Amino acid sequence: MDILSETIAAIRTGNPASGLFIRHAPWGRRYPKVPGAGFHVMLQGSCWVLPPDGEPIAMGAGDVLFMPRGENHDLVDALGTPIGEVAAPGEPREIAGPGARTVLVCGAYELGRQRSHPLLEDLPEFIHLPARPGRHPALRSAVDLLAGEIAEPRPGTDAVIPALLDTLLLFLLRAWFDERADSTGWAGVFQDPAVADALRAIHAAPEKAWTVPELGAVAGVSRATLARRFLATVGEPPLSYLTRWRMLTAARLLRETDTPLAGVARKVGYQSEFAFAKAFKREYGLAPGQYRRAEDQLSVIAV
C-alpha cells in the first residue's frame, strides 16, 4: 500500500487543468483563490510572486511554485509593476509587449470539497522549489515533458497531459518532503517505519475495527509509542485518522462508483447504513445519497 499515492487518489477529483502563458514585460497578473491546489512552472524568463501575506518570492527559469490550498496571489515581471489582468478561462495564450519574454505553465488540481487531509493541511500556503543542478531530477523531467506536450500538441496529447499533471503533483510532494531536513509533520511519516506501517494498515483495511494496540502490534511498537509518534507526524491520533480516512474513502466511492450505500457503509467499517449516513453527514454536511447526486451534477456541468 503506497501511502502517498492512496492519499492523493482519495482527495483528487475531476481532471487537472493547465495552460501555457506567454507574457512580455511589463505585465502583472492576478490569480484569485481556487477551490483546489494550484501550481506555476517557470519555463523561460523570471517573475515575482506576491503572496497576500509575506515577502515576495523570486522565480527563475525551471522553478516550480505549488499552492496546496489554491491561495490567491499576484505575478509580476518586476516589483512595482501594476496588475493588468486577472487569470480567467479563455484568455489569450500570448500577450505581446516591448520587454523581456516570460513563459509559464500554470494549472490547478481539483480536490474533494469539505473534507481535507492532514497531508495538505500540514503544507505551507506556498511551496517554492528552485531549479538547482542535480536536485529533484524526476521533477525536472516531468516539467520538461509537460512543457513539450503543451507547447507542441501531438496525437495523444489529451491523454498524456492529465497523466503528466498527476505525475507532477506526486513529484512536487516528493521534492518538498525531501527538502524537509527536520522530518516533522508528514515529512516524518515517510521516515518513521512504525507510523508508515500503521498508516498502511488503515489505508488497506479501513473497514476493520482497529484499536491502537492492534495498530501498535502491526507497527512493532507499543501502544503509547505509536500514539505519540503518530500524533507528532500525522497531526492527529490514530483512531481520529481512521475516521477521517473512512470518510475520505466513502466520499471517493460515492463519487467514482455505483456501489449501493449499504455497500459503501460496509467498505468503510459501518454495519449499519444509518450509522454510516449519520457519520458522513457530520463530516460533509450532506447525507451520502445527496453527496453522490451533487457530485454527479458537478461532473455533468464540468463535461
Yes or no: say if 18 and 146 are a contact pair by the CB < 8 Å rule: yes
Cell digits of residue 253? 466511492
Give me the pLDDT at residue 11, please. 82
Give me the pLDDT at residue 92, please. 81
Q: What is the CATH number of domain 3-179?
A: 2.60.120.280
Give me the pLDDT at residue 303, please. 34
Domain boundaries, the chain: 3-179, 188-302
Cell digits of residue 119? 497531508
pTM comes to: 0.84
Phi-psi region of 102 (alpha: psi -120 to 50; beta: other; left: phi over 0): beta
Give me the pLDDT at residue 19, please. 87
Cell digits of residue 262? 449499504
Give me the pLDDT at residue 302, please. 43
Per-residue pLDDT in tens (0 to 9) along the chain, 303 residues: 688 888 888 887 777 888 889 999 999 999 999 888 999 999 999 999 999 998 999 999 989 999 999 999 999 999 999 999 998 877 788 888 889 999 999 989 988 655 678 888 888 999 999 988 778 899 989 988 988 888 888 999 989 998 998 899 999 998 988 887 566 788 888 889 999 999 999 999 999 999 999 999 999 999 999 999 999 999 999 999 999 999 999 999 998 999 999 999 999 999 999 999 999 999 889 999 999 998 776 654 343
Yes or no: say if 27 and 76 are a contact pair by the CB < 8 Å rule: yes
Give me the pLDDT at residue 186, please. 84
Cell digits of residue 134? 542535480
Alpha carbons 59 and 303: distance in angstroms, whole number: 34
Q: How far is CA 266 from CA 235, 249, 271, 274, 281, in A?
A: 27, 12, 6, 11, 16
Residues facing residue 58 across a β-bridge: 48
Q: How far is CA 94 from CA 101, 146, 199, 261, in A?
A: 10, 18, 46, 48
Check the CA dihedral 116-167-175-128 and report its sign. negative
The CATH architecture assigned to 188-302 reads Orthogonal Bundle (1.10)
Residue type, 86: V
Cis peptide before 26 (omega within 30 of 0): yes
Give me the pLDDT at residue 187, please. 81
Q: In what order do the strands lie in the sheet with 64-67?
A: 94-95, 17-24, 101-110, 36-44, 64-67, 127-129
Cell digits of residue 72? 490567491
Q: Is 50 helix (H, G, I), strand (E, B) or coil?
A: strand
- Burial status of residue 284 (CB atoms within 10 A of its CB: 0-12, 13-18, 19 or more): buried
Phi, psi of 95 (to 5 degrees): -120, 125
